[in-house]
Amino acid sequence: MMDTPDTEEGVAQAVQDAVIDSTPLEIRGAGTRLGLGRPLQAARTISLKALDGVTLYEPGELTLVAQAGMTLKALDDLLEGENQQLTFEPPDHRALLGTSGEPTLGGAIAVAASGPRRLRMGAARDAILGLRYVNGEGDILRAGGRVMKNVTGYDVPKLMCGAYGTLGVITEIGLKVMPKSEIVKTVAIAGLSDGKAISALAAALAMPCDVSAAAHLPDTVSRELGFSEAATLLRVEGFETQAAYRIERLIEALAAFGAVVEIHSDPWVAIRDVMMFAGDDRAVWRISMKATDAPLLVASLREQIDVEAFYDWGGGLVWLACEEGRDASAVAIRKTLAGFGGHATLMRASDAVRAAVPVFEPEIAPIATLSAGLKSRFDPAGILNPGRMRA
Amino acid sequence: MIEMPVPDQRIIAKRASIADRLRKIVPAEQVIHTSEELKAYECDGLNAYRQPPMLVVLPDTTAQVADIMKLCQSEGVPIVPRGSGTSLAGGSLPTADAVVLGLSRMKDVLEIDYENRTIRVQTGITNLAVTGAVQPDGFFYAPDPSSQLACAIGGNIAMNSGGAHCLKYGVTTNNLLGVTMVMADGEVVEFGGAYLDAGGYDFLSLICGSEGQLGICTEATLKILPAAEGARPMLFGFDTNEVAGEAVAAIIRAGLSPVALEFMDKPAITVSENFAKAGYPLDVEALLIVEVEGSEAEIDEQLTRIEAVVAPYKPSTVKRSGNDIESAKIWAGRKAAFGAIGQLADYICLDGCVPLSQLPDVLKQTAELAKKYDLKVANVFHAGDGNLHPLIMYEANDPDSSRKAEELGADLLRLCVEKDGCLTGEHGVGIEKRELMLTQFNERELRQQMAIKDVFDPAWTLNPAKVFPLSLSEPHIDDRRAA
């Protein structure tokens, strides 16, 4: 049964109905990211698609409040009109997951989708000023607000970001937005090994150049985007003179790594959306770890399994593609990662594999207890996306 | 007057034995028990409220903190965590039956990692010492509360502290990557780490800003950033607060991303100028200090652009700093403002936040309310993010004046909420704004937040009587104990 309420009260009613029936409730926006997390069996589904209005947009305050079902496309168009943009550059998972429809703001926030600009401007959670949500008892609640600084009470809005709808149904989100830069340029160094590339990115990020994205594409991956060898990429923004000055400084500082040349294509959408791994049937992992350890992890994995990798966030975010098999190499990947620290999320695999393998990094006992405690206090009946994050 | 819970005499009766047992965990001199010495811990920056604790303990290690927590948990003793005691909201005000757990001996820098731009510290370290540790190598730690010389990172995490430069770099929560936290039952748990996002639920977000009510953070991994080549401010004077407020919005909208955008109103200008001789014009109603950073050429270009954006608002004074001496002079008045006002009177520093578009109206109504209470209010604040700091001047020795100041403060914070803002932008709720929480949130919303505390601190012994109105928290705790 699919419910598509067009009011917040309708959302609350749908949750209350599910509570009365003790029926699990699947929460979705446009459904483009349903392949993330563990597969869900739910008799009831609620779609936020019809809650798609803009509550408030104040360009002079860099503040936007919109309902969860608003599409990112409509949001981008609105912001574009004022030459503004979202801070966290949310990835579009359609190509990677083979889904269709228009991704919604609520979906991006629920899965904490943050793109290359996360490095400089923060993640989805950092952009959130406040939100409205319906908890598992059907109460409509507010958290945070719409002002830039707010420490009034616990930071519940950020908790909701990345909770995959397991703690509440987000109905409205207040965001900090940002102006678009006058100039956006990308420079590249060709042919570096992974280790050298991450060192080059670290050197660039240690300079006050406001680098807004930093990625490394090893040889085979880079070819997917039309490069002829490994590409180490930096995005620089600002006013024209500012961008030119910053590039000049980077060229100088990175000379030891190789020639820094400006490229005239934009690789960042493809990197954001992991296009290099789209359209095949391999399992895809997303690993958050210390940047300088990342090439060591990848090298160690290459000795164990057949794996392709690339790096975003200066190396702090590793994307891996490997044969799906029975467990998507979860044991090898997590065991190797444990030696460095960080966490791995299985971003793409068949339902069977995502049901069998922990999609999110297994929690240590005290944190698992806290997670279960929060779940039971936000959703006592256990009806909101049950099992989406943990079995 | 803000009430505190009635202390539990059964706990106070065990004072001597608890002190003995604490001395088995830390060296004897690190358990403070004499009434003279306890007096140093009777208040924080909200010094109108004072209550010496039962005992103070000053551990050196996370393991000691864990043992202290286990002991207090088993005896039902409330724990009040304390960094440097600079909270302006009474965030570390003790109760008479509490043990204050002070972080002042835990000040070590544990690891600096320039390649990954992180620093690991013990949380008793001061905010400025973190920047101090990395400054020689061209880095800094971004959040810069004005108490940064004294305030501890542990307190910054508890309150999710901000500062003047947060406009560009964010507040504590945006710069915190991981913590070691000792839970109420003494278990030591790592949240996050030296990487950009944590897996699973975002516990770090909950911990930051939880005012020491979910656990005690003993170590933290923080982001450090490369320092800009230079920075320079510019000063604008305006004939009305309204126009100055409009100019602020114009600068933000133009995407000029200054690192700081500070506002001073007429009372603040007069007091600061008389004190610091910064060369501020005395014939204006409002001053804006706008600071940008970068290379010399970048600074010049940004300031030129800002000047052009502000020009239509017809500033009566425009002063651009040309060098470090002029920069220091422009900042001198702003930096001296609180001290200068402190020379004139006692003051309460409020911390509401409002949408930028509401600034002019809020300033106007602030002046009207001040008049109604017959008190002086000066406004010095972070305008770029709408974070107001009205300073209410009063006489602490005069109970009538104190009462009026507190009432005016509450009215001003209610005004912020009415204008779609919030009670506190960066100081925290503490005891000060606890009873006002129901003006911002309804009871159900607060109960949902209290449920989070239940999960972390089932017995509600960590930092009692902060954040939530006593009318909600006390029956809630009674219910839990009965069950």
One domain, residues A150 and A187 = no
pLDDT of residue A76: 98
pLDDT (mean) for B93-106: 98
Nearest residue of chain A to residue B293 (CA atoms): A208
Positive/negative CA dihedral, B121, B125, B129, B131: positive
Do B356 and A180 lie within an 8 Å CB cutoff?
no
Interface test with B, best of A83, A109, A118, A147 (most B CBs within 10 A): A147
pLDDT (mean) for B275-290: 94
Contacts of A122 in chain B (CB under 8 A): 170, 174
**Cα distances (Å, whole numbers) of residue B228 to A119, A235, A238, B135, B410:** 17, 18, 15, 11, 40
One domain, residues A231 and A295 = no
Interface test with A, best of B115, B174, B190 (most A CBs within 10 A): B115
Nearest residue of chain B to residue A205 (CA atoms): B226
Domain boundary among the residues A125, A158, A179 is at A179
Spell out the domains of chain B, with CATH numbers in brackets: 9-102 (3.30.43.10), 109-226 (3.30.465.10), 230-418 (3.40.462.10), 441-482 (no CATH)
**Among the residues of B39-165, which ranges form H helices?**
62-75, 127-134, 153-159
Q: Is residue A383 part of a domain?
A: no
Contacts of A340 in chain B (CB under 8 A): none
Share above pLDDT 90 across residues of chain A, in percent, rounded to a whole number: 97
Q: For the ranges A19-33, A94-108, B329-343, which has the lowest average pLDDT?
A: B329-343
pLDDT of residue B347: 93
Nearest residue of chain A to residue B427 (CA atoms): A151
Helical pair B359-373 and B399-418, crossing angle rounded to 10 deg:
160
pLDDT of residue B247: 93
| DSSP one-letter string for A73-114 | HHHHHHHHTTTEEESS-PPP-HHHHT--S--BHHHHHHTT--
Q: Is residue A323 part of a domain?
A: yes
Q: What is the nearest CA distance from B16 to chain A, expressed in angstroms?
A: 33
Q: Is residue A295 part of a domain?
A: yes
Q: What is the nearest CA distance from B227 to chain A, expressed in angstroms?
A: 6
Confidence class for position B302, pLDDT limits 50, 70, 90:
very high
Q: Is residue A370 part of a domain?
A: no
Q: What is the nearest CA distance from A52 to chain B, expressed in angstroms?
A: 22
pLDDT of residue A235: 98
Output the average pLDDT for chain A: 97
One domain, residues A154 and A51 = yes
Do B174 and A126 lie within an 8 Å CB cutoff?
yes
One domain, residues A103 and A161 = yes
Do A153 and B437 lie within an 8 Å CB cutoff?
yes
One domain, residues A187 and A224 = yes
Confidence class for position A176, pLDDT limits 50, 70, 90:
very high
Residue B437 touches chain A, beta carbons under 8 Å = yes
Q: Is residue A255 part of a domain?
A: yes
Q: How far apart are CA B156 and CA B322, in angstroms?
A: 34
Instruction: Write down the residue that tokens 């996306």 correspond to.
Output: A385
Six-digit token string for A253: 């500082």
Q: What is the CATH number of the domain that holds A74?
A: 3.30.465.10
Instruction: Write down the residue that tokens 């994307």 correspond to.
Output: A319
pLDDT of residue B101: 98
Other beta carbons less than 10 A from residue B415's beta carbon: 20
Residue B311 touches chain A, beta carbons under 8 Å = no
One domain, residues A13 and A104 = yes
Q: Is residue A31 part of a domain?
A: yes
Do A139 and B253 lie within an 8 Å CB cutoff?
no
Do B355 and A361 lie within an 8 Å CB cutoff?
no
Do B356 and A58 lie within an 8 Å CB cutoff?
yes
Contacts of B208 in chain A (CB under 8 A): 155
Q: What is the nearest CA distance from B99 to chain A, expressed in angstroms?
A: 24
Q: How far apart are CA A190 and CA B455, in angstroms?
A: 51
Residue B186 touches chain A, beta carbons under 8 Å = no
Q: Is residue A134 part of a domain?
A: yes
pLDDT, tens only, B60-78: 999 999 999 999 999 999 9
**Residue partners of B328: CB distance under 8 A and separation at least 6:** none
Confidence class for position A1, pLDDT limits 50, 70, 90:
confident
One domain, residues A23 and A155 = yes
Interface test with B, best of A152, A159, A247 (most B CBs within 10 A): A152
Residue B58 touches chain A, beta carbons under 8 Å = no
Do B356 and A83 lie within an 8 Å CB cutoff?
no
One domain, residues A134 and A261 = no
One domain, residues A240 and A130 = no
Q: Is residue A384 part of a domain?
A: no
Q: Which domain holds residue A124?
A: 2-179
pLDDT of residue A41: 86
Q: How far apart are CA B468 and CA A159, in angstroms?
A: 19
Nearest residue of chain A to residue B423 (CA atoms): A152
Residue B354 touches chain A, beta carbons under 8 Å = yes
**What is the tally of structural domains in chain A?**
3
- Tell whether the model's pLDDT for residue B197 goes beyond 90: no
Contacts of B114 in chain A (CB under 8 A): 206
Domain boundary among the residues A130, A145, A179 is at A179
pLDDT of residue B268: 93
pLDDT (mean) for B430-443: 97
Confidence class for position A188, pLDDT limits 50, 70, 90:
very high
Share above pLDDT 70 across residues of chain A, in percent, rounded to a whole number: 100
- Tell whether the model's pLDDT for residue B82 goes beyond 90: yes
Six-digit token string for A130: 């406040």
DSSP H or E stretch at residue A133: strand A128-134
Q: What is the CATH number of the domain that holds A187?
A: 3.30.70.2190
| A-contacting residues in B 265-284 (Cβ below 8 Å) | none
Confidence class for position B146, pLDDT limits 50, 70, 90:
confident
One domain, residues A82 and A44 = yes
Asked if A127 and A161 touch (Cβ cutoff 8 Å), the reply is no
DSSP H or E stretch at residue A288: strand A283-289
- Tell whether the model's pLDDT for residue A24 goes beyond 90: yes
pLDDT, tens only, A303-349: 999 999 999 999 999 999 999 999 999 999 999 999 999 999 999 99
pLDDT of residue B164: 80
CA angle A122, A127, A128 (to 5 degrees): 140
- Tell whether the model's pLDDT for residue B335 goes beyond 90: no
Maximum alpha-carbon separation in chain B: 71
Q: What is the CATH number of the domain that holds A336?
A: 3.30.70.250
pLDDT, tens only, A228-257: 999 999 999 998 888 999 999 999 999 999
Nearest residue of chain B to residue A158 (CA atoms): B205
**Cα distances (Å, whole numbers) of residue B263 to B11, B12, B287:** 48, 48, 6
ipTM above 0.85, yes or no: yes
One domain, residues A160 and A108 = yes
- Tell whether the model's pLDDT for residue B438 goes beyond 90: yes
pLDDT, tens only, A362-390: 999 999 999 999 999 999 999 999 999 99
At residue A269, φ and ψ (nearest 5 deg) are: -65, -40
Residue B356 touches chain A, beta carbons under 8 Å = yes
Residue B440 touches chain A, beta carbons under 8 Å = yes
The partner residue sitting opposite B202, judged by closest CB among A125, A207, A292, is A125
One domain, residues A246 and A344 = no
| Beta strand pairing call for B55-57 and B99-102 | parallel
Q: Looking at this protein, which amino acid is placed at residue B82?
A: R
The partner residue sitting opposite A377, judged by closest CB among B159, B228, B455, is B455
Contacts of A156 in chain B (CB under 8 A): 206, 448-449, 452
Do B257 and A146 lie within an 8 Å CB cutoff?
no
pLDDT of residue B483: 84
pLDDT (mean) for A39-46: 93
Residue B249 touches chain A, beta carbons under 8 Å = yes
Output the average pLDDT for chain B: 95
Contacts of B356 in chain A (CB under 8 A): 58, 60-61
Contacts of B249 in chain A (CB under 8 A): 60-61
Domain boundary among the residues A245, A272, A299 is at A272
